Structure 1
């Protein structure tokens, strides 16, 4: 059996230590809604995770058992919101609240490929940042890597995140 070639990812660790000013306005045109999902059905989470994460080879939750996934996404330290565009799911973000009061991590953030390039990312990220700061942490963190959208790092920095460290990891490609 041939071993799958791994991909090398350079990870940029970013943080925001003060809340931003006013939120980004909702883009005109499409009808948008951001909705928090309490007790997300696992099949829906897997759908969102694959649609958003497959192009970027997200790995953490790719092969989780139902029990492990339920523990992770239904826990009291996890908050998930879904962006809908004209009624269709377009992306999601997931907050990790396990290090409160010191930190809230935006663990996952992204849009499905069909909804990228439509001016939604700044608005949606602004919502994720506001949701994180609503828990009154000392800082909000997020990570991106060279397998993510080439515009992700620039967007995070424009929104007020500052790079604080870098690391590298080997990632199994999504088959």
Structure 2
């Protein structure tokens, strides 16, 4: 890969710039309150429900990792007591996801945080990120970290920075286009053109 210019990718590949962020102490904020009508519900060992919500949240941004993960691997993550997965609900509807991973020594990873597209901009994301920070630093952790990429929602990086995260590393991720492998439907990630045969 050329680190001082352009590198051509073959058809069937996608690439993104990944930004890693972290915080070592929580900002001084009041305890987060859910917007009216929204509740958090912990889920365990319900891979079908998790995967359905993951896809609703992530398909517009080409989230494919958990969509492609083997069932037994996903079930093991969901069942691990060191992983906290909460679903944000609006009445009977699942509209958001908050996943904290405490499997790292003295660190927590904000593995996933997202909302279904029609919910963005109503304060639910701010509630989820504040709740994530509160929960992470409610345990004996020295650092909370997260990453986002250039394929994600255009405000994702600024959102994490507003929440108090600081960028510390950048990487380039190259992967098979999940629309060509069948992991995501052809209409997913409309902002990224498909280069290859569907």
TM-score scaled by structure 2?
A: 0.79
- State how far apart, in whole Å, the 1-side matches of 2:11 and 2:37 are: 42
Of 52, 59, 65, which residue of structure 1 is paired with 2:57?
Answer: 52
1:107/1:142 contact within 8 Å kept: yes
Higher relative contact order (CA 8 A, sep 6+): 1
Structure number with bigger Rg = 2
1:23/1:127 contact within 8 Å kept: no
Unaligned runs of 5+ in 1: none
Relative to structure 1, the CA distance from residue 4 to residue 43 in structure 2 (aligned partners, 3 Å threshold; closer, same or farther) is farther
Of 101, 104, 114, which residue of structure 2 is paired with 1:99?
Answer: 104
RMSD of aligned residue pairs (Cα, Å): 1.9
Relative to structure 1, the CA distance from residue 4 to residue 34 in structure 2 (aligned partners, 3 Å threshold; closer, same or farther) is farther
The answer to whether 1:42 aligns with 2:47 is yes
1:24/1:122 contact within 8 Å kept: no
The answer to whether 1:145 aligns with 2:152 is no
1:32/1:86 contact within 8 Å kept: yes
1:144/1:152 contact within 8 Å kept: yes
- State how far apart, in whole Å, the 2-side matches of 1:58 and 1:142 are: 15
- State how far apart, in whole Å, the 1-side matches of 2:163 and 2:28 are: 10
| Match runs of 1:114-125 below 5 Å | 114-125=118-129
Q: How far apart are 1:115 and its partner, in Å?
A: 0.8
What does residue 6 of structure 1 align with?
13
TM-score scaled by structure 1?
A: 0.88
Relative to structure 1, the CA distance from residue 90 to residue 155 in structure 2 (aligned partners, 3 Å threshold; closer, same or farther) is same
2:32/2:131 contact within 8 Å kept: no
Report the number of matched residues. 170
> 3-state DSSP class of the match of 1:11?
strand
